[in-house]
Amino acid sequence: RTYEDVLDASTWAVFREGWHDAWGADGDHLKTEEWVRRALAIGYTMITADVSDFIRGEWAARSDAEALAQWQTLDAGVRRGLEERYLRSPFVVDSGEEIRFTPAELARTTLVYREAVDHAARLYRACVAEKGAGRFDFELSIDETATPTTPQAHVFMARESSRQGVAISSLAPRFVGEFQKGIDYLGDVGEFERTFAVHAALCRSLGHRISVRPGRL
């Protein structure tokens, strides 16, 4: 089915059921500026921006020494700005927990996610150009990757995207374990609950919703 077919079918279902309140439709896991503009032009009200092609997960497994060495190849001004934002003081969430970066964690997080931030900004600007600021919901998806989202990565993606003017409605982290459609969660439920609580607190403190991709506990 085409995107038009799906939206037409959904619209008819809403009408048939007699629903009179607000409702919306998500252009899910879109990766290009062309597709986000097309979905919004058709009438979708939300975009899930999939930046997985720009997440450099190979750096998540590299040693501290390798990450710090690569960090030194970045522009000095960029490094200095990131150090000022993330090394001087922790990010404190409403639960009282402090999210701190070591120099190696900052280097690794930057190497994994910096390009993804830039692509999220490109997709967001395409949305604004098509629909206008404030006229759509923008979900940032970083879950389509093998690299679980650390609290540091969550803070980095949200704050650096905001610095580029991106208004995030919701963020979908890559949780520990596996969520797959139609089956139970694969992994340690206790560990998931602990990490979920941290991500939920980060969302409250950063001002966006948390998104859990299809699955069940």
In Å, how far are 9, 20, 132, 197 from 140, measured between CA atoms?
Answer: 26, 29, 18, 19
Which residue out of 26, 28, 33, 144 is catalytically annotated? 28
Stated length of the chain:
217
User: Is-catalytic flag, 28?
Assistant: yes
CA distance 215 to 95: 26
Q: Are 90 and 74 in contact (CB under 8 A)?
A: no
Rg (CA), the chain: 19
Residue 1 CA neighbour count, 13 Å, CB half: 8
Name the token pair of 22: 């607000």
Residue 160 among the catalytic residues: no
Find tokens 């931030």 and name the residue: 117
CB atoms inside a 10 Å sphere around CB 82: 20
Q: 4, 33, 115, 139: which is the annotated catalytic residue?
A: 139
Active site residues: 28, 139
